[in-house]
């Protein structure tokens, strides 16, 4: 293709070649839009257009069949006053702790300790293994964990005795139980599944980030007599600003939009203790046929994600500019 | 023994513990799958008589043959189109630097943070108006749109780093933009494209909410993950069968991952950091 074009090349002066290229570049910048159109059409039709419709539906009272009735902001009022709906949002906040803060903090600690180990041969295998939760369908993870956290499950079998001893030490004895069926422990149980899903991703990402830190920084601080703890806070942590930002962003979106795991492992129960916005939206729209109310909750969820993400991105980018 | 040796040893122990923790659900599913159907296995216990035929039973009971085919068709309908149109868009944004490219990129970036629940309700009514509910197209079309933010962003990141002098040299040889794209740029972009194919294949396979809502009754037209949801609803009391079925549904993507783990991990990490 390119060769046939070469033969028709005519000799040109340097100036006219440059001028020709500049016109071509400008033509490129316009014609290039043709290359963008298919992606924009797909994105517009199946993401932006539905998003606009979610906003529109949220102002109506609609059962999905009969004519819709304009109700203004009253659906939004319900989202924040209806106890079940509001508690679903609160549960999301607790899940952020488990999906986001704990895996990031644990990932940092693990990466700091395992940095040398993960560079070796064992590390190559370990990296493949601990990244596995990113590949497995969350539905399957939910099934596996419902069984693990059940009364006869492996968590009780392996961890019950030490955990029980620990809890008794702080005066909180707990009977062996089906954790996801418990009023008190179901939500932390779902959170534990979230830790499992996210920890490997955060650990690998942070380990790779630590590998990029200039070793001379550590040498310099060792000459100053800094110990490993001061090194961690003075050098490692600030250098990982971007990676930490990524961990928090990815995991927070996962926490707020949690659906698969909850749908499979608890269905929001017992007594709505693990109800989350994602599941509530699904149930309201497709079981209760309260499409307007479900849409209002959906828009609140979208806004919540933005509110959580923007400060993190701002913090990360501020560091890059200075 | 120096303290750094001790740290290295401790690190290795911690790594093994982390690996065990990650594999625990799979080990637990595996031992449960080998228990006799109708019994209630306890934690991690190896059965006296491993029931290997449970895997065959689960395959038949869950009707996995047609669902495997359905998943493959959904992947074949989604991934090639996604990759081609995202590569074209990435080329336009990263190499041709089209007018308004920054604004377009920003528009795509919005989609990167958007939870699927934010648009699933209107998607249902939109596809209903196309008469596509309960067909594979109801999963394929929205997925192509939903994959655009990451895919365009990923391909743009590749094309931004290709020297523009290459395109300009081909241009001065009289090649058209279309020829430059297919003849020069796509072959150079092969590593980025392969990573994108793997990542979108795995994401399609694991998609759950989309088939649950958009293929509500015709379970045989769902993805594997979507079908697993229905299977769980029917056999939640039969742990050995459910465990065997779950493992069968996991296996194909775990295999794809093991073969292409380098590309997958790199794409997940780079794709995240560049954001």
How many degrees, rounded to 5, is the angle at CA A30 between CA A25 and CA A31? 90
Which residue among B14, B121, B228 sits closest to A57, beta carbon to beta carbon? B121
Residue A114, CA distances (Å) to A66, A107, A230, A232, A242 in order: 60, 10, 18, 14, 20
Residue B149, exposed/middle/buried by CB under 10 A (0-12, 13-18, 19+)?
Answer: buried
Distance CA A191, CA A213 (A): 32
Which residue among A31, A120, A250 sits closest to B272, beta carbon to beta carbon? A250
**Average pLDDT score over chain A:** 86
Rounded to a whole number of angstroms, the CA Rg of chain B reads: 23
CA dihedral sign of residues A128, A131, A133, A134: negative
Distance CA A120, CA A116 (A): 7
Q: Check residue B4 and give its pLDDT.
A: 67
Give the DSSP letter string of A141-165.
HHHHHHHHTSTTSHHHHHHHHHHHH
Domain range list for chain A: 13-70, 80-321
Spell out which residues of chain B touch residue A127, defining contact as CB-CB under 8 Å. Answer: 265
For the segment B120-134, the average pLDDT, to the nearest whole number, is 96
Q: Pairing relation of β-strands A69-70 and A60-61?
A: antiparallel
Distance CA A118, CA A204 (A): 9
Distance CA A215, CA A201 (A): 24
Q: Has residue B9 got a pLDDT over 70?
A: yes
Question: What band does A262 get if pLDDT is binned at 50, 70 and 90?
Answer: very high
The residue ranking higher by pLDDT, A74 or A14, is A74
Cα–Cα nearest to A290, from A48, A90, A78, A83:
A78
Query: Is the CB of residue A295 less than 8 Å away from at least one CB of chain B?
Result: yes
Query: Is the CB of residue A118 less than 8 Å away from at least one CB of chain B?
Result: yes
Distance CA B152, CA B106 (A): 11
Which residue among B24, B122, B272 sits closest to A54, beta carbon to beta carbon? B122
| Total number of residues shown for chain B | 275
Q: Has residue A50 got a pLDDT over 60?
A: yes
Q: Convert the pLDDT of each residue in B158-182 to its tens digit.
A: 999 999 888 888 888 888 888 999 9
How many degrees, rounded to 5, is the angle at CA B57 between CA B56 and CA B63? 95
CB atoms within 10 A of CB B120: 25
Contact A2 B170 (CB under 8 A): yes
Query: Is the CB of residue A316 less than 8 Å away from at least one CB of chain B?
Result: no
Q: Which residue of A has its CA nearest to B208?
A: A260
Residue A165, CA distances (Å) to A162, A192, A311, B7, B62 in order: 5, 20, 41, 28, 42
Contact B121 A47 (CB under 8 A): no
Record the pTM: 0.89
Q: Which residue of A has its CA nearest to B223?
A: A137
CB atoms within 10 A of CB B70: 23
> Domains in chain B, please, with CATH?
3-56 (no CATH), 64-273 (1.10.3720.10)
ipTM of the complex as predicted: 0.91
Cα–Cα nearest to B206, from B147, B127, B118:
B147
Q: Check residue A7 and give its pLDDT.
A: 39
Contact A8 B174 (CB under 8 A): yes
CA B155 from centre of chain: 17
Query: A80-321 — its CATH code?
Result: 1.10.3720.10
Cα–Cα nearest to A241, from A217, A200, A205:
A205
Crossing angle (nearest 10°) for helices A14-31 and A33-43: 20
Residue B271, CA distances (Å) to A235, B20, B151, B264, B268 in order: 25, 27, 9, 10, 5
Spell out which residues of chain A touch residue B242, defining contact as CB-CB under 8 Å. Answer: 143, 147
How many degrees, rounded to 5, is the angle at CA A220 between CA A216 and CA A225? 145
Distance CA B119, CA A51 (A): 5
Cα–Cα nearest to A141, from A260, A277, A266:
A260
Distance CA B111, CA B145 (A): 10
Distance from CA of A314 to the nearest CA of B (A): 12
Contact B250 A136 (CB under 8 A): yes
Contact B121 A281 (CB under 8 A): yes
Question: What band does B1 get if pLDDT is binned at 50, 70 and 90?
Answer: very low
| Total number of residues shown for chain A | 322
Distance from CA of A129 to the nearest CA of B (A): 6
Q: Convert the pLDDT of each residue in A71-130 to its tens digit.
A: 999 999 999 999 999 999 999 999 999 999 999 999 999 988 887 777 777 888 888 999
Query: Is the CB of residue A121 less than 8 Å away from at least one CB of chain B?
Result: no
Distance CA A228, CA B118 (A): 45
Q: Best of B121, B228, B266 to disrupt the A interface by mutation (most A CBs within 10 Å)? A: B121
CA dihedral sign of residues A311, A314, A320, A322: negative
**Average pLDDT score over chain B:** 89
Distance from CA of B246 to the nearest CA of A (A): 6
Helix (H, G, I), strand (E, B) or coil at A61: strand
Crossing angle (nearest 10°) for helices B64-91 and B239-259: 30
Q: Has residue A1 got a pLDDT over 50?
A: no
């Amino acid at each position: 293709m390119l060769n046939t074009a070469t033969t028709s090349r005519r000799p040109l002066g340097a100036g006219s070649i440059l001028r020709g290229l500049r016109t071509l570049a400008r033509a490129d910048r316009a014609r290039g839009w043709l290359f963008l159109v298919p992606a924009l059409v797909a994105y517009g039709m199946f993401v932006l257009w539905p998003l606009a419709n979610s906003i529109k539906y949220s102002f109506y009272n609609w059962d999905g069949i009969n004519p819709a009735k304009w109700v203004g902001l009253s659906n939004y009022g319900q989202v924040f006053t209806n106890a079940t709906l509001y508690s679903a949002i609160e549960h999301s906040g607790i899940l952020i702790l488990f999906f986001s803060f704990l895996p990031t903090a644990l990932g940092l600690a693990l990466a700091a300790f395992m940095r040398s180990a993960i560079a070796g041969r064992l590390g190559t295998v370990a990296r493949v293994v601990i990244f596995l939760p990113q590949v497995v369908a969350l539905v399957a993870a939910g099934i596996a964990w419902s069984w693990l956290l059940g009364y006869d499950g492996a968590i009780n079998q392996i961890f019950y005795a030490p955990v029980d001893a620990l809890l008794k030490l702080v005066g909180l004895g707990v009977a062996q139980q089906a954790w996801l069926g418990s009023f008190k422990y179901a939500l932390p149980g779902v959170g534990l599944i979230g830790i499992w899903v996210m920890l490997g991703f955060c650990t690998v990402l942070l380990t790779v980030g630590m590998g990029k830190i200039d070793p001379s920084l550590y040498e310099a601080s060792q000459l100053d007599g800094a110990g490993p703890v001061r090194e961690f806070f003075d050098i490692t942590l600030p250098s990982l600003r971007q990676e930490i930002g990524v961990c928090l962003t990815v995991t927070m979106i996962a926490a707020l939009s949690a659906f698969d795991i909850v749908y499979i492992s608890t269905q929001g129960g017992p007594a709505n203790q693990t109800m989350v916005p994602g599941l509530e939206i699904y149930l309201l729209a497709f079981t209760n046929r309260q499409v307007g109310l479900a849409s209002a909750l959906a828009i609140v969820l979208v806004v919540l994600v933005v509110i959580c993400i923007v400060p993190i991105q701002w913090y990360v980018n501020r560091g890059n500019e200075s | 023994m120096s303290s750094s040796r001790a740290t290295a040893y401790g690190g290795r122990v911690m790594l093994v513990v982390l690996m065990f923790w990650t594999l625990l659900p799979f080990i637990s599913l595996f031992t449960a799958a080998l228990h006799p159907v109708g019994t209630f296995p306890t934690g991690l216990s190896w059965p006296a008589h491993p029931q290997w035929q449970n895997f065959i039973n689960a395959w038949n009971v869950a009707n996995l043959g047609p669902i495997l085919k359905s998943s493959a068709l959904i992947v074949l309908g989604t991934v090639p189109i996604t990759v081609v149109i995202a590569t074209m868009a990435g080329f336009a944004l990263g190499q041709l630097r089209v007018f308004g490219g920054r604004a377009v990129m920003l528009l795509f970036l919005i989609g990167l943070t958007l939870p699927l629940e934010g648009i699933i309700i209107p998607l249902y009514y939109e596809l209903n108006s196309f008469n596509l509910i309960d067909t594979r197209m109801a999963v394929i079309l929205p997925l192509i749109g939903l994959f655009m933010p990451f895919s365009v962003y990923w391909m743009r990141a590749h094309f931004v780093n290709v020297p523009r002098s290459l395109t300009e040299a081909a241009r001065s040889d009289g090649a058209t933009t279309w020829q430059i794209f297919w003849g020069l740029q796509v072959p150079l972009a092969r590593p980025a494209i392969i990573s994108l194919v793997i990542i979108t294949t795995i994401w399609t396979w694991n998609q759950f909410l989309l088939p649950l809502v958009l293929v509500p009754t015709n379970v045989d037209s769902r993805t594997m993950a979507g079908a697993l949801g229905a299977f769980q609803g029917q056999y939640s009391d039969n742990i050995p069968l459910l465990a065997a079925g779950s493992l069968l549904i996991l296996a194909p993507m775990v295999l794809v991952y093991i073969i292409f783990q380098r590309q997958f991990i790199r794409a997940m990490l780079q794709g995240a950091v560049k954001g």
